[in-house]
Structure 1
Amino acid sequence: MATHTIGIIMNGVTGRMGTNQHLIRSILAIRNQGGVTLSNGDVIMPDPILVGRNENKIQALAEAHNISRWSTDLDQCLNDPYNLIYFDSQTTVRRAQDLKKAIAAGKHVYCEKPTATSLEESLHLARLANDAGVKNGVVQDKLFLPGLLKLKRLIDSGFFGRILSVRIEFGYWVFEGNWQPAQRPSWNYRKEDGGGIIIDMFPHWRYLLDNLFGTVKAVSCLGITHIPKRVDELGNTYECTADDAAYATFELEGGIIAQVNSSWAVRVNRDDLFTIQVDGTEGSAVAGLRDCKVQHRVNTPKPVWNPDMPNPINFREQWQVIPDNQIFDNAFKVQWEMFLKHVVADEPYTLDLLEGAKGTQLAELGLLSWKERRWVDVPELSIGGVKV
């Protein structure tokens, strides 16, 4: 058995998502468990170097987690042959330029989504990585959440019969920052800084819909900025120039219709911050981040519309909870392990930059649909003659 120590440049991990999900719950968790074991018994051990523009922040983060390697010089890190992988979780407007540097340096690249602010640039990144022969991946974490894995199990078993429709409700109230601090950074609400819920969430909806139900064929989207002014991290009031809610309908292959509401201006009255309901001819399911419940056709109640009397049916009691039946690991960590196995042992991996470009494409077409107030078809993408 051999140990493969892999230097990983982690750029932009001082933010909430980068620190918690990618550093602490993924890379450090992998190190603490003794690495990732391959089928032949070999072990992959990630060795991160934290990179950022703010020396104080990056040094403090490294020291807090006993990480010996950190730097403010990305070019120097890229020039070090010990570092084989470049990871990027910076803000979207900064991501593409540094991914290009990493690809040019021959690094395998793994990054958050969206991969760029435009489809053209997302496709350009995919082409660069393809031409350079470097392995590449894009975070698509929701595919590995317990609730979604249970839903996938139901789909694969044929539980739904013919799937008719999908309804997704996502979001929560993000405080404006005046009388309570906001839970999200202020750049999320400035278009000029890469903000907007369509750019942020439509890439998620693309890979979820494509992988669970069928390819997205068309989109109709209405975006809006419900909260016109917010207060930033320094206490300054600013104009919100990006959408904070989007109401969309997607047409999928096979005639499935998906309705998706995304909002940072909604108060939650559901089981989770994210819920997805799937209705089919044989049964229905509602999944959240961790749980999933079902109702088969034989257990479906028979309500009758009568607004003149209280409804005698307790609809929530008519659903059955799907058991865990397995131990679920952190979704981000699961995908990190997959990518590390892909890099070291060439294990199959499909969630690449071209798949990431599909997410950017849907966001761009959603914005176009909103602007022109019409349905927009979603064409196939390709690089080097290969369509996706």
Structure 2
Amino acid sequence: MNERRVGIVMNGVTGRMGLRQHLERSIVAIREQGGIAAADGSMIIPEPILVGRNELKLRRIAEQYGLTRWTTDLSEALAEPDVEIYFDSQLTQLREKGVRAAVEAGKAIYCEKPIAEGLDAAVDLARLVRDSGLKNGVVQDKLSLPGLRKLKRLVDGGFFGRILSVRGEFGYWVFEGDWQEAQRPAWNYKQAEGGGIVVDMFCHWRYVLDQIFAPVRSVYCQGAVHIPTRWDEQGTEYAATAEDAAYGVFELEGGIIAQLNSSWTTRVFRDELVEFQVDGTEGSAVAGLRNCHAQHRSATPKPVWNPDLPVTEKFRDQWSVVPDNEVFDNGFKVQWEMFLRHVVDDAPFTWDFVEGAKGVQLAELGLQSWREGRKLEVPALSIEAGS
């Protein structure tokens, strides 16, 4: 069988997300399964070149996964003749420089969100890659989660009738780092280093709301630095300057109200780390990372409010399981396969840099809403110069 080998510069694989989700569970997994089928019947085989700032870490990662190509020199990697794709999962502060270098080298570009630190820079990058004519995409992995794909199936099938509201809870307790090691790097809690949960999560919420339910039309955000003192990876105490929780209310087109809480300072009493409840005139559903349960109007019980008596109903038992009906793969891997086919076969990939810029827009408006204490409209985003 013919093989179509595609060189991919992977910049930022020494980080947690770049290593686990993108390299190990996506690119290495695709290689181990023998690639993916192209339109002409050949097998697309990704050939990663690892790029980062720490030579020792790169060497160890390459050895762990049986890879031979790595470098600390991005220009050297982009100059390799087989390279067709540049992937970026660096710190957000470093992303713009890497993307511009890839555009200059004429490579297709796929990168993590947010695509830039601020909206102006995100729009500039979106305009740059559009004008270059290069294929481009931004990771929007939550859309490929099994639970949300089942939820989207219900939406597309008209299960909810008129959707009234979406309520989402995301988060877990991230240890402060003094008596137990923190699960997230210290930069997440430093404003000067691009930290903060608004920038991290509002980019996700934008595409989840826009593409599963309806476009976002307004935002009200209340952020908080609940834990003002933390300890970094070296055990050094530092002041947390970026918010560790954000409580958002979004109005969507058609009058749908979404309430989404994002927190690294909450202890989990849910079935999954993220859950969405959608209520509509004809039915409701609750979806997490993998599971989804639904309750139709015709099967909705009639609870009676009586605080003087103990609850005898098992409310969770009154919901039906939404079946898988398909085999679900890792969400990051699914989108990597789609982007590889986009590059090789010109297959559709709708999540481009304009969609990435929309996420940055919502995060920026969320932070502004918090500072000013008011609801803000979310205007249509244009990447045209002077607009």
- If the TM-score is normalised by the length of the shorter chain, which range does it land in? over 0.9
Amino acid aligned to 1:181: E
Instruction: Identify the residue that residue 269 of structure 1 maps to in structure 2.
Output: 269
Q: How far off is 1:276 after superposition?
A: 0.4
Q: How does 1:276-295 map to 2 (within 5 A)?
A: 276-295=276-295
Q: Do structure 1's residue 164 and structure 2's residue 173 form an aligned pair? A: no
Separation (CA, whole Å) in 2 of partners of 1:379 and 1:6: 39
For the residue of structure 2 that corresponds to 1:255, the secondary structure is coil
Q: How far off is 1:307 after superposition?
A: 1.2
- Name the TM-score, length of structure 2 as normaliser: 0.98
Instruction: Identify the residue that residue 244 of structure 2 maps to in structure 1.
Output: 244
Separation (CA, whole Å) in 2 of partners of 1:225 and 1:151: 32
Amino acid aligned to 1:84: E
Contact 2:39 2:345 in 1 (8 A): no
Separation (CA, whole Å) in 2 of partners of 1:333 and 1:150: 18
Contact 2:251 2:258 in 1 (8 A): yes
Separation (CA, whole Å) in 1 of partners of 2:108 and 2:224: 38
Q: How far off is 1:36 after superposition?
A: 1.2
Separation (CA, whole Å) in 2 of partners of 1:348 and 1:66: 31
For the residue of structure 1 that corresponds to 2:254, the secondary structure is helix
Amino acid aligned to 1:368: Q
Instruction: Identify the residue that residue 138 of structure 1 maps to in structure 2.
Output: 138
- Name the TM-score, length of structure 1 as normaliser: 0.98
Shift of the 382–2 alpha-carbon distance from structure 1 to 2, 3 Å rule, reads farther
Q: Do structure 1's residue 323 and structure 2's residue 323 form an aligned pair? A: yes
Deviations 1:313-366 (A, max 9, x none): 221111111121211011000000100111111111110011000000000000
Q: Do structure 1's residue 257 and structure 2's residue 257 form an aligned pair? A: yes
What is the number of residues matched between the two proteins?
386
Separation (CA, whole Å) in 2 of partners of 1:358 and 1:81: 33
Amino acid aligned to 1:209: L
Shift of the 371–292 alpha-carbon distance from structure 1 to 2, 3 Å rule, reads same
Amino acid aligned to 2:145: L
Q: How far off is 1:218 after superposition?
A: 0.3
Amino acid aligned to 1:332: F
Q: How far off is 1:44 after superposition?
A: 1.1
For the residue of structure 2 that corresponds to 1:80, the secondary structure is coil
Instruction: Identify the residue that residue 151 of structure 1 maps to in structure 2.
Output: 151
Separation (CA, whole Å) in 2 of partners of 1:239 and 1:135: 41
Separation (CA, whole Å) in 2 of partners of 1:43 and 1:17: 26
For the residue of structure 1 that corresponds to 2:316, the secondary structure is helix
Amino acid aligned to 2:312: P
Amino acid aligned to 2:368: L
Tell me which moved more, 223-232 or 314-323: 314-323
Q: How far off is 1:189 after superposition?
A: 0.4
Instruction: Identify the residue that residue 80 of structure 2 maps to in structure 1.
Output: 80
Instruction: Identify the residue that residue 196 of structure 2 maps to in structure 1.
Output: 196
Amino acid aligned to 2:207: Y
Amino acid aligned to 1:297: R
Q: How far off is 1:99 after superposition?
A: 0.8
Q: Do structure 1's residue 181 and structure 2's residue 181 form an aligned pair? A: yes
Deviations 1:150-205 (A, max 9, x none): 10111111111110000000000000011110011110000100000000000000
Amino acid aligned to 1:176: E
Deviations 1:120-160 (A, max 9, x none): 10111111111111110000000001001110111111111
Separation (CA, whole Å) in 2 of partners of 1:82 and 1:35: 17
Q: How does 1:4-43 map to 2 (within 5 A)?
A: 4-43=4-43
Tell me which moved more, 310-319 or 161-170: 310-319
For the residue of structure 1 that corresponds to 2:179, the secondary structure is coil
Q: Do structure 1's residue 308 and structure 2's residue 325 form an aligned pair? A: no
Separation (CA, whole Å) in 2 of partners of 1:331 and 1:241: 32
Amino acid aligned to 1:337: E
Amino acid aligned to 2:338: M
Amino acid aligned to 2:30: I
Separation (CA, whole Å) in 2 of partners of 1:121 and 1:226: 29
Separation (CA, whole Å) in 2 of partners of 1:190 and 1:178: 17
Q: How far off is 1:384 after superposition?
A: 4.2
Q: How far off is 1:81 after superposition?
A: 2.9
For the residue of structure 1 that corresponds to 2:59, the secondary structure is helix
Contact 2:31 2:46 in 1 (8 A): yes
Instruction: Identify the residue that residue 372 of structure 1 maps to in structure 2.
Output: 372
Instruction: Identify the residue that residue 45 of structure 2 maps to in structure 1.
Output: 45
Contact 2:191 2:241 in 1 (8 A): yes
Tell me which moved more, 319-328 or 20-29: 319-328
Q: How far off is 1:381 after superposition?
A: 1.1
Instruction: Identify the residue that residue 211 of structure 1 maps to in structure 2.
Output: 211
Separation (CA, whole Å) in 2 of partners of 1:97 and 1:118: 14
Give the fraction of aligned pairs with identical amino acids, expressed as a percent: 63
Instruction: List runs of 5+ in structure 1 lacking aligned partners.
Output: none
Q: Do structure 1's residue 361 and structure 2's residue 361 form an aligned pair? A: yes
Instruction: List runs of 5+ in structure 2 lacking aligned partners.
Output: none
For the residue of structure 2 that corresponds to 1:277, the secondary structure is strand
Instruction: Identify the residue that residue 335 of structure 1 maps to in structure 2.
Output: 335
Contact 2:3 2:45 in 1 (8 A): yes
